[in-house]
Amino acid sequence: MVDWVRLRLDVDGFDDGEFEPYLRRAQGSGIGFTTMAELGDTADHRRALYDLNKMCSADIPDRGEFYTYDAYVAQRIDVPAFDPGGVILAIRDGVWIGMSATSLHADKGVAFSEMTGVLAPYRRQGLSLALKLLAIRFVRSSGYRWLATLHHPRNASAIAMNRRLGFVDQTDVRS
Ligand SMILES: CC(C)(COP(=O)(O)OP(=O)(O)OC[C@H]1O[C@@H](n2cnc3c(N)ncnc32)[C@H](O)[C@@H]1OP(=O)(O)O)[C@@H](O)C(=O)NCCC(=O)NCCS
């Protein structure tokens, strides 16, 4: 049985200023940031999101086979917790190179970080921190205090990334 690592962040206590340099550095290197809401929740953009998510998810330990496109849309997009404003995208030269997707669970009063991923050539440059800064701002502006996430215990990079942002272990938020 997998002993999942459950983390959560109190976005009210998050210090944006500490992570703004990562956003500015990425922007200064020619990376643009936008959301699915700004680009439009269209069929083409859903497919591009699926492709990016699938490519990044290939590096998640024990992820197994990824969703088919139809299953991804049914389980991740066509659900009440999906908000296109919560899909933060990093784009360089027209190519989607990074994402951070957050769902909003009004029934539980919690936001959930579904997937943060950066294409391999762009990793270890602080891009995930820039993406998550924008994701955290989305959570805050949506009126939520808690951002939760769940990781395979061997996903060291993702766990370290979230701890770097101030996520702590939790046991009582969305399973
Ligand atoms: C996890 C992931 C999104 C990190 O993206 P990234 O842009 O390379 O990360 P950053 O450069 O912003 O690093 C942020 C922090 O995360 C940690 N980190 C990132 N990659 C790491 C690695 N390979 N090993 C250890 N720590 C790592 C570090 O603490 C780092 O801060 P530091 O550079 O100041 O030490 C990326 O590795 C990825 O896409 N992995 C595959 C998909 C995945 O597992 N997603 C998470 C599941 S939702």
- How far apart CA 134 and CA 98 sit, in angstroms, is 12
Which atom in ligand 1 lies closest to the alpha carbon of residue 117? Answer: 39
Which atom in ligand 1 lies closest to the alpha carbon of residue 126? Answer: 12
Q: Which helix (H) or strand (E) holds 35?
A: strand 32-35
Q: Helix or strand or coil: residue 50?
A: helix
**pLDDT band (50, 70, 90) for residue 172:** low
CA of 31 to the centre of ligand 1 (A): 17
Question: From the centroid of its chain, how far is CA 61?
Answer: 17
DSSP code for 143: T
Q: What residue ranges do the domains of the chain occupy?
A: 5-169
Residue of 116, 128, 162, 165 to test ligand 1 pocket, by largest number of atoms within 8 Å of CB: 128
Query: Of the given ranges (58-62, 109-113, 148-152), which has the lowest mean pLDDT?
Result: 58-62
Q: Using the Cα atoms of residue 62, residue 65, residue 89 and residue 112 in order, give the sign of their dihedral.
A: negative
pLDDT at 173 over 50: no
CA of 165 to the centre of ligand 1 (A): 11
Residue whose pair of structure tokens reads 């769902």 in the numeric block: 103
Which atom in ligand 1 lies closest to the alpha carbon of residue 129? Answer: 12
CA of 158 to the centre of ligand 1 (A): 5
Nearest CA, atom 5, ligand 1: 128
CA of 86 to the centre of ligand 1 (A): 20
Nearest CA, atom 24, ligand 1: 157
pLDDT at 135 over 70: yes
- How far apart CA 37 and CA 18 sit, in angstroms, is 26
pLDDT at 50 over 90: yes
Query: Of the given ranges (30-34, 79-83, 169-173), which has the lowest mean pLDDT?
Result: 169-173
pLDDT, mean of residues 101-107? 97
Q: How far is CA 107 from CA 84, 136, 138, 153, in A?
A: 19, 19, 18, 28
In CATH, the number for domain 5-169 is 3.40.630.30
pLDDT, mean of residues 139-148? 98
CA of 162 to the centre of ligand 1 (A): 8
Answer yes or no: is the C-beta of 120 below 6 A from any ligand 1 atom: no
CA dihedral angle for residue 53, residue 55, residue 56, residue 57, rounded to 10 degrees: 80
Answer yes or no: is the C-beta of 119 below 6 A from any ligand 1 atom: no
pLDDT at 119 over 90: yes
